[in-house]
A and B are shown apart, each in its own frame.
Chain A
Amino acid sequence: MTTRRQILQSAIAPMIVPSVVLGRRAGAVAPSDKIVFGGIGIGSRGSHDLSKILKFKDQARFVAICDVRNERRETIKSTVDQTYGDHGCQMYDDQFALLARPDIDAVLIATGDRWHTPLSIIAAQHGKDVYCEKPCSMTMEESWALADAFRRYNRIYQAGCQRRNGANFEFCKNLLNTGALGKLQTLYANVGPSVDWPPIPSRDWLAEEALPPKQVLDWDRWLGPAPWRPYHSSYVRGGWRNFYDFHGGGILEWGSHTVDLCQWAAGYDDTQPVEYEPVGTNVGPYQVHCRYADGVRLVMRDNGWNGALKTGSCSFRIEGDLGWVETGDASIIEASDSIKPLIRPTEEARMALDNHMLDLMHAIRIRQQPKASAAAAANSHVVCHAAFIAYQRGKTLSWDPARREFTNDEIANRMRSRAMREPWRV
Chain B
Amino acid sequence: MQNTTQPAPAAKPAPPPKPVPPPEFREGDIATMDVASLIAIVKDPGATDFHKAKACQRLGEHGSKEAVLALAPLLANERLNTYARHGLETVEDPSADDALLAAMAKLHGDRKIGVINSLGKRRAEKAVPALARLIYGGDLNSACAAASALGHIGRLAAAKELQAALGKSRGAVRTAVADGSLVCAERLLADGKREQALAIYTQLAVPSSPKPVRLAAMQSIIREETSLERPR
Chain A residue contacts of B199, Cβ below 8 A = 2, 7
* A422→B202 contact, CB < 8 A: no
Q: A281-309 interface mask toward B, CB cutoff 8 Å, 1 = contact, 0 = none? A: 00000000000000000000000000000
Of the residues B50, B85, B182, B222, contact of A205 by C-beta under 8 Å: B50
Per the 8 Å Cβ criterion, residues 113-131 of B in contact with A are 113-114, 117-118, 120-121
Shortest distance from the beta carbon of B131 to any chain A beta carbon, whole Å: 13
A contacts with B: majority SS? loop
Q: B41-79 interface mask toward A, CB cutoff 8 Å, 1 = contact, 0 = none? A: 000000000100110010011110000000000000011
Shortest distance from the beta carbon of B63 to any chain A beta carbon, whole Å: 5
Query: A345 near B: Cβ within 8 Å?
Result: no
Contact (A422, B120) CB under 8 Å given A206-B25, A414-B90 = no
Q: A1-35 interface mask toward B, CB cutoff 8 Å, 1 = contact, 0 = none? A: 11010111011100101101100001000000000
A residues apposed to B, CB below 8 Å: 1-2, 4, 6-8, 10-12, 15, 17-18, 20-21, 26, 124-127, 148, 152-154, 202-207, 227-229, 232, 234, 239, 410-411, 414-415, 417-425
Bound: A8/B218 CA distance, A: 10
Contact (A422, B114) CB under 8 Å given A204-B26, A204-B27, A232-B19 = yes
Bound: A39/B27 CA distance, A: 36
* A12→B221 contact, CB < 8 A: yes
A/B interface sample: 27 pairs, CB < 8 A: A2-B195, A7-B199, A7-B201, A7-B202, A11-B205, A11-B206, A12-B205, A12-B218, A17-B218, A126-B212, A227-B83, A239-B19, A411-B62, A414-B60, A414-B61, A414-B90, A417-B121, A419-B82, A419-B86, A420-B82, A422-B113, A423-B114, A423-B141, A423-B145, A425-B117, A425-B120, A425-B121
* A21→B215 contact, CB < 8 A: yes
Interface residues on B, range: 35 or more
B residues apposed to A, CB below 8 Å: 18-19, 21-22, 25-27, 31, 50, 53-54, 57, 60-63, 78-83, 85-86, 89-90, 110-111, 113-114, 117-118, 120-121, 141, 145, 148, 179, 182-183, 186, 195, 198-199, 201-202, 205-206, 211-212, 215-222, 225, 230
Shortest distance from the beta carbon of B86 to any chain A beta carbon, whole Å: 4
A-B contact count (CB 8 A): 144
Bound: A12/B225 CA distance, A: 11
Chain A residue contacts of B225, Cβ below 8 A = 4, 7-8, 12
Contact (A419, B205) CB under 8 Å given A12-B218, A20-B215, A205-B25 = no
Bound: A62/B60 CA distance, A: 42
